[in-house]
Structures are given as C-alpha cells and as structure tokens.
Amino acid sequence: MTRRSHRRASCFGGSQAMSDPMVIEIAGSSQHLPSVSVPIQGALASASVDILPAESPAELDELAQLDEQLQIAAGDSGTPPSAGHRAEAADLRFKAFTLDLLKSVRLPTLRALGTASLEPLRAAIAAITEERDAERCAACHIILGGALRLRSERKQGYQRAQLLIEATRAFDTAYGIYATLRHAAAGEVDLREVGMADAITRGVGCRPAAPCIGERDGTMLVARAVAGPAGTNSHLLERAVAYLRLTRAGAEMQSWAWVSSTNNLACALTLLGNRTPAAAGSAMLTEAAQVLREALNAHAAGYRREERGSTLINLAEALLSMAERETPDLRTRKIERAFTASSVALLSVVPPALAWLVRAARRELE
C-alpha cells in the first residue's frame, strides 16, 4: 500500500491469473491493549478501556463491530503449544536467540523494554537485511513494536498515536517476514527466484498466507505499479477497483477468489483513497475497511481462515489511512485498532518463544 515512513508491501495472495489488459498495463508501468471496548480474549487478553464518545452513532457502531471482529480473531490466533521434540527444540532455540538478541540491544528485561534507550535496537535494525538474516530482522522488529507499545501506554494524544503507528509498522514488517518464510518452507514461495529483498524490502512482495509473488493477478501488478513514483497510475487503479468489484461480486464467499478479490480490492481502494482528496478519498478508504470487515466475518464463519492474517494487515493499513483524516479523538481510536489488528495478525505466524513480546503490557512492569 502507500508508503509513509517505511516500505511495506501492498498485495495479498492472488487468485488465478487474470488476463485483463488493464492489469498487464499496470505490470508494465512499474494502559492496556489499545482501547477496545470489549476485552480481547485469548492471545491478547487484557482489561477493557472505555471508548470516549464517538462523533456520531454510526462511527460508534462501526468501532463496536470492529472490536467484535478483532476479539474473535484474537481468540483464534493463539500460538498452539509445541508438538514433539523437534518443535520443542525449536522453541528452546528461539528462546535463547531472543534473550541473546535482547541483551545485544541493551534491552535485557521487560522493564528495560519500556524505559531504556532504543538507539542500539534501531542501529541493529538499520544494519540488518531480511535477505541476510530474516529471523533476526523479524525478531528485532517485534522487539521494537513491543517496546513502542509499552511506551505508548504512558503517553496521550499525538505522542501516543505516533508511537502506536510506528509499532504497527514494526509488527507489519515482522508479519511479512514470517509469513514469507513459512510459505517458503512449505514450498509455496521460492525465495531463490524472487529474493527476500524483492519479496519484502522493496515492496514487491506481500503480506500473504498464499503466494502472490509468482502470480500475475491484479494486486501483484498494482503493487508493482505503485512501487514507482508516488501519485502515478491513478487512472489504472480506478479501473482495477472496478475490475475487482466485479470479480468479487461473481465469486462465492467461501472461495479463494472471493477472499483474494476482497483483499485486493481493499488494497486498491486504500491506494487510490490516499491519492484522492476530500470526501471522495475518504469514501474509498471507508469502503476498503468495510470489505475487509466482511472478509473477517467470512473468516470467523470458517471460510479461508488461514488467510485472516493478511486481511488483518490490510485492515491495519486502511485504518491508519482513515485516521489521517479524522478528528484527534477518533484518529487515536482508529490507530489503536490498527495496532490491535497487526498484533493479532502477527500472533498467527510468530514463533511461540517470541509471542510474549507481542502480548507484553505495561501492567507486567509494575
């Protein structure tokens, strides 16, 4: 999707190859858990925080619906216990690896995560590439996201919002790495062909639970187009939106085509909405969030549940984009939910030994 302070990918896993000329043309152009009204169960359980009065009943209702969907997703995203000696050995390796990494960036305790300087950690992140050491890079981003989240709980207003935005970006990056590694291990993505740097760092990859890297469908091609100069190809995005709406309308909700076109449509709407000023752009962002909430409902009903992480990452980006156009109170609430969405997504792929960093809350420091 659109990039602000960091590079992130913009595509979901694709449906079957599509031969639309527009697509070909695009390809060639290239406290507690943030304030949710209901305590999230399972992996991210914490005390609830009351929502401040929304600006309208409709906005309050939308936030309540989103909270319910995030609660359901969190309840299903807990990392399962290790099975067998091989998995237990992997857990032990990650625990030792994480402790060594925390010490190396001078954050050896949970209290240090919430109070100590983050400069050694930021320097470590700057020195790492996903291609050279993907696991270390992902772990560093998880540490950064957890530390920023802890610090956000002591702040209010603009400062809290900025910390949560950066934490969301950090968790998004970690999710992308782990999702790509998981599917590479399953033989679904060949990183020897695309390269980790191409798949993640340069934004040509995805945040998928399915391999869009090697497929030539709408979102993959839109992602390539927007990797170029910002603001170009808006007319192609408009046509992509129309195309994906038709594809989605003609697919069964339980099918891969429906989930794929829904996520792809949300990505295209978010990209185009960010480029479109005033009410028209806001309406596109609202539609993006709405279709993603529909996808979450489908996942909760048992349809393509393994793709929920990608839907949550796309939702987080849409919410951050919407937040930029909101009043201060509503902006913070949408940023909080974006962070929650990225946290729940990350818990679906993170190694068990690192999950505590995603769940860490300030109350554990006291």
Beta bridge partners of 30: none
The predicted structure's pLDDT at residue 130: 83
CA nearest to 12, candidates 244, 191, 193, 239: 244
Report the alpha-carbon angle 341-284-61, nearest 5: 55
Q: Is 212 in a helix, a strand, or coil?
A: coil
- By CB atoms closer than 10 A (0-12, 13-18, 19+), residue 218 is buried
Give residues with Cβ within 8 angstroms of 104, minimum separation 6: 120, 124
pLDDT at 282: 93
What pLDDT, on a 0 to 100 scale, did the predictor assign at position 235?
Answer: 74
User: Which amino acid appears at position 322 of this protein?
Assistant: M
Instruction: Please count the other Cβ atoms lying within 10 Å of the Cβ belonging to residue 257.
Output: 15
Calculate the dihedral angle through the C-alpha atoms of 205, 207, 209, 211, rounding to the nearest 10 degrees.
Answer: -10
What single string gives the DSSP state of each residue in 321-354? HHHTTS-HHHHHHHHHHHHHHHHHHHHTTS-GGG
Per-residue tens of pLDDT for the chain, all 366 residues:
433 434 444 345 543 333 333 333 333 333 333 433 333 333 343 333 333 444 667 777 788 888 888 888 888 765 444 444 445 566 677 778 888 999 999 999 888 999 999 999 999 999 998 888 999 999 999 999 999 999 999 999 999 999 999 999 999 999 999 998 887 776 654 433 333 223 323 332 334 334 333 234 566 656 655 665 666 677 778 877 888 898 899 999 999 989 988 998 998 899 889 989 889 999 999 999 999 999 999 999 999 988 999 999 999 999 999 999 998 888 999 999 999 999 999 999 998 888 888 987 655 444
Q: What is the pLDDT of residue 205?
A: 32
Residue type, 343: S
Q: Quote the CA–CA distance of 222 and 177 in Å, as a whole number.
A: 21
Q: SS3 for 140?
A: helix
| Confidence (pLDDT) at 321 | 94
- Number of other CB atoms surrounding residue 184 within 10 Å: 19
Torsion of CA 73, 289, 338, 39, to 10 degrees: -40
pTM of the model: 0.75
> Which residue in 27, 222, 202 sits closest to 129, CA to CA?
202
The two three-digit tokens of residue 210, written as one number: 């399915």
Domain boundaries, the chain: 21-30+56-77+91-359
Residue 324: φ, ψ to 5°: -65, -20
Output the pLDDT for position 151: 94
Write down the pLDDT at residue 113. Answer: 92
Would you give the distance in Å from CA 43 to the centre of its chain? 16
Tokens encoding 194: 């695309």
